[in-house]
């Protein structure tokens, strides 16, 4: 049986949602009218402008509150489910030791012009994220963190030199689809430099990726916002020690 849901604002099932956006117009009555009209065209009925704030010269930020009449069928929602078991660091170490009999080598970097290192550091640094230790904590994982603004040729060269088992790339900036372009450039370069059976596992992450795009971008897995180091370590163990 399908499970239909609709948003909940003031009372169950009332369909109320909140939406925010910026228009390139100075704040005025007309600007608020424009925001209201835009939200109405997007299907909010009624659409109420509940907040409007000037943002520098010639821009206004809006919050609109209103009712949508759409439903979502939870059974028809498609997401990338975790298809590997979550392991403890001890279990990950044991599995690497048992099957590789050497340390698993992981290279991490932010590529292109991206300088947002907090995300990749959350996964790699020993101090970790969300109460979990990062991959540097795992005795059987060797982590080479190249930091920010690494070029694709540099990344490939280092992966060759270190005989990397996995390459972990972070992309946080999404302006002009930089994250997609950089990821495609990276996966193409690895396919060029390695024979398929020797190519390291390619993993990208960042808050604005669509996890379903891995195949299209030529990578083995995409991790989105809120990823924890344990999830990544478990994935690596699952894919590289089978």
Query: Residue 153 or 224: which CB sits closer to ligand B12?
Result: 224
Cα separation of 227 and 207, whole Å? 9
Rounded to whole angstroms, how far apart are CA atoms 169 and 120? 7
* Residue 143: closest CA among 122, 173, 113, 129: 122
Question: Closer CB to ligand B12, residue 68 or residue 178?
Answer: 178
Query: β-strands 72-73, 4-5: how paired?
Result: antiparallel
The secondary element (H helix, E strand) that includes residue 204 is strand 201-205
The contact set with ligand B12 (CB under 6 A) reads 113-120, 122-123, 129, 168-170, 172-175, 203-207, 223, 225-227, 232
Q: How far is the CB of 112 from ligand B12 (least distance, A)?
A: 8
Identity of the residue, 31 or 123, whose beta carbon is nearer to ligand B12 in the bound complex: 123
Catalytic residue among 29, 53, 127, 142: 127
Q: Active site includes 90?
A: no
Nearest residue to 203 via CA among 130, 125, 109: 109
Question: Residue 58 Cβ, how far from ligand B12 at the closest point, in Å?
Answer: 18
Q: Which is nearer to ligand B12, 98 or 208 (CB)?
A: 208
Return the SS3 of 169.
strand
Dmax over Cα atoms in the chain, in whole Å?
A: 69
CB of 132 to ligand B12, least distance (A): 10
Q: How far is CA 58 from CA 27, 31, 34, 55, 184, in A?
A: 8, 10, 14, 7, 36
**CB of residue 169 to ligand B12, shortest distance in Å:** 6
Give the pair of three-digit tokens for residue 95.
Answer: 């599995």
Active site residues: 127
């Amino acid at each position: 049986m399908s499970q239909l849901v609709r948003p909940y604002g003031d009372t169950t099932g009332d369909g109320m949602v909140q939406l925010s956006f910026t228009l390139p117009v100075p704040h005025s009555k007309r600007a608020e009218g424009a925001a209201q009209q835009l939200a109405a065209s997007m299907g909010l009925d009624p659409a109420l402008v509940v907040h409007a704030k000037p943002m520098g010269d010639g821009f206004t930020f809006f919050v609109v509150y209103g009712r949508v009449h759409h439903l979502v069928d939870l059974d028809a929602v498609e997401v990338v489910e975790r298809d590997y078991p979550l392991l403890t660091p001890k279990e990950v170490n044991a599995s690497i030791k048992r099957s590789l009999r050497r340390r698993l080598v992981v290279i991490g970097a932010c590529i292109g012009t991206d300088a947002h290192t907090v995300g990749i550091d959350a996964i790699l640094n020993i101090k970790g994220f969300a109460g979990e230790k990062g991959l540097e904590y795992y005795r059987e994982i060797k982590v080479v963190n190249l930091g920010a603004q690494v070029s694709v040729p540099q990344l490939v060269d280092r992966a060759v030199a270190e005989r990397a088992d996995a390459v972990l790339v972070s992309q946080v900036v999404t302006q002009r689809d930089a994250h997609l372009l950089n990821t495609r450039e990276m996966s193409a370069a690895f396919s060029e430099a390695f024979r398929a059976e020797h190519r390291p596992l390619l993993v990208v992450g960042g808050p604005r990726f669509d996890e379903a795009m891995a195949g299209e971008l030529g990578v083995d897995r995409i991790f989105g916002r809120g990823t924890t180091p344990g999830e990544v370590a478990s994935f690596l163990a699952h894919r590289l020690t089978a």
